[in-house]
Amino acid sequence: MDLYSAASRLSRPFVFTEDDRDPHRVARRLGIAARGIIGDGLTCALVRVDGVIDWCCMPRFDSPSCFGAVLDPERGGSTSIQPVRRPFESLQRYDPDTNVLETLFRVPGEGVVRITDYMPWTDDPRAAIHEIHRRVECVEGRVELEIVFDPRFDYGATETTLEHGERGVLARGTSGDRMVAVVRDAKWSARERGSGLATRVSLKKGERRWMVLSYAGRSPEPIEAYRPFDHLRATRRAWRHWTSHVTYDGPWRHHVVRSALLMKLLTYAPTGAIVAAPTTSLPEWIGNTRNWDYRYTWTRDAAMAVHALNLVGCQREAREFFYFVRDCMEREGGLQVMYAIDGLAVPDEKVLEHLRGFADSRPVRIGNGAKTQLQLDATGPLVDAASMFERMGGSLTLRTWRHLRDVVEIVRCRWREPDHGIWEPRSGEKHNVDSKAMCWVALDRGARIARLFGDVAQEHAWSDAARDVQADVLRAALDPTGKRLTAAYGVDVPDAALLRLPLHGFLEARHPYVVETTEWVRKELSVGPFIHRYRLDTDDGVGGDEGAFLLCGFWLAENLALQGRIDEALEVFVAHAEASNHVGLLAEEIDASSGVLLGNFPQAFSHLGLVNAALRIDLGMRLRDEGSHAAPHLMMDGSRQAEPR
């Protein structure tokens, strides 16, 4: 019982009763965040705390789902391992320093069962086998379990047929998809409730069974053929080897390591692309329409992720991402807002009318219409990440530099234009101050990199342009009082994106404009420690409510730390870190009044924000303890912040 006792100290058990056999009821009751995630470097699966896998796209992140019950419990499809007897308690945790997930069931009057879920992972895409392995072992007593296999290919839009024999079940989709489910000595039959096939096993203490799900398998093989024990050992070893390179050893190492593991899990190994999240259409407010497909790589988001990974010693991921961007630019002839994970165009946005959506939150969308927007802010994080890569000991190739040079030059020529900006509104373009500042970042960091490649002319031209951008912002972006910066030129409203201006050195953190703007954002956009992106009555062309944006809260924590307000920064940071779910994962947003996580899950944006804030506050605490006054003026990579000229 050691695992159960240890897990009990970390979180309260989830309790499941007879009422939770209703899939719609249990989905609403549990919420979005009652899940862990496993993956193999090509795709991921969400594992709910009651043993249900209700989201998985095969063979890659942006493929149509084969398990999509998170978006529709009746049509989406799922697979599960659950105790037959109710009620039962459930706890989840990760095997330390890995993405191997453990779920523990305690069934009163019967015993305790542990499920170990993982996808075989080697960090080598050529070794991918597209499998999910589930080990079930009885820890105490004797427990009867029901195992269900009910895939629905193509987002549940087409028919799936199931054929079962002595070795297992073969599922076929009309579009050619196949998946095999194997459990030794299983007697599969039609379910008493719902569709799919089910089998029951009874395990006593010390006994175990494996369930293997193999995508594209032609027919079931004996369980030994899938070598689940060997893959489990190799997967644990590979994750722990990767985690050993995480250099952060501060007070929030557990949160930082989990965030790094999550960002690595969201990396598509064949190309180095990082998806914003592994899901689509999980709502930013229950019952509302802010439901988007995040299974693609945004240049900005991914660059911010590799910047954070670089800070904690993960240089390989940064290098692979720069190669990905380089190859995409050679193919496309320029930098795009977002890419499919193979570097091709993101599909056009469309609605899947046959799916009800999570907790009846329609529409369910695939593809993303923001791909055609002008987002001038995207180049700044990319060039900033490249500069960080160099500062942390990496070396950009000349071929990569040529492409970076082209995109920085485009920024120099276009920074005066309005754009859609980081929040991707569908109401038109503005002169967004955050976008102007990110253009400054692109020019400032570009000038630094140009110096490394001996391009003196570009260095001077971009440094001059950076000064022009800063001067223009300080002239045109002040509110009528002349004390603070506004969301856009001539638009006297706050924007949480303004919080990141000092984080990149656009202005010194204790500059009066920054201090006044920070307080304005907190006053107008905060609910407790949490921050909304902008006012909820803003006409962004989408409409509807949304939660507070977790990344913005981490920006606030960093901002306060740079101002020397370490205790306030700690308060904000801890509130956001503790908003993570039972296994340390964060969604995109949070209902500040209830603490319920909202939006696509888990979200790279939120976790990169956690890493940056943890390191920034840790640095500030150490400098404060040493009696140093340098904290407000130093960036984490050692570069100094800019002063207006």
642 — pLDDT class (breaks 50, 70, 90) = very low
**Residue 124 vs residue 173, higher pLDDT:** 173
Which DSSP letter does residue 344 get? S
> How far, in Å, CA of 641 to CA of 502, rounded?
8
Check whether the bond before 632 is cis (ω within 30° of 0): no
Contacts from 590-597 at CB under 8 Å and sequence distance 24+? 590/530, 590/547, 590/548, 590/550, 591/285, 591/547, 591/548, 592/527, 592/528, 592/530, 592/547, 592/548, 593/527, 596/31, 596/32, 596/33, 597/31, 597/32, 597/33
Per-residue model confidence (pLDDT) at position 636: 54
**Would you kindly state where each structural domain of the chain is located, as residue ranges?**
2-241, 245-633
What mean pLDDT do residues 611-628 have?
91
> Is 7's pLDDT higher than 60?
no
> Is 2's pLDDT higher than 90?
no
pLDDT tens digits, one per residue of 464-484: 999 999 999 999 999 999 999
What mean pLDDT do residues 49-67 have?
98
635 — pLDDT class (breaks 50, 70, 90) = low
> Is 8's pLDDT higher than 70?
no
Helix (H, G, I), strand (E, B) or coil at 351: strand
What mean pLDDT do residues 346-372 have?
97
The answer to whether 555 and 569 have CB atoms below 8 angstroms apart is: no
User: Which H helix or E strand runs over 446?
Assistant: helix 433-452
CATH top-level class of 245-633: mainly alpha
Phi, then psi, of 137 in degrees rounded to 5: -135, 140
What mean pLDDT do residues 128-136 have?
96
pTM, whole model, 2 decimals?
0.95
pLDDT tens digits, one per residue of 482-494: 999 999 999 999 9
Task: Supply 501's token pair.
Answer: 């201006």
pLDDT tens digits, one per residue of 281-300: 999 999 999 999 999 999 99
Count Cα atoms within 13 angstroms, Cβ side, for 127.
12
Task: Supply 188's token pair.
Answer: 């599969």
Reference 446, options 407, 395, 417; nearest CA is: 407
Is CATH 3.30.70 the classification given to domain 2-241? no
pLDDT tens digits, one per residue of 578-588: 999 999 999 99
Per-residue model confidence (pLDDT) at position 535: 93
> Is 197's pLDDT higher than 60?
yes
pLDDT tens digits, one per residue of 485-533: 999 999 999 999 999 999 999 999 999 999 999 999 999 999 999 999 9
**What are the helix (H) ranges across 152-282?**
228-243, 253-265
Check whether the bond before 59 is cis (ω within 30° of 0): yes
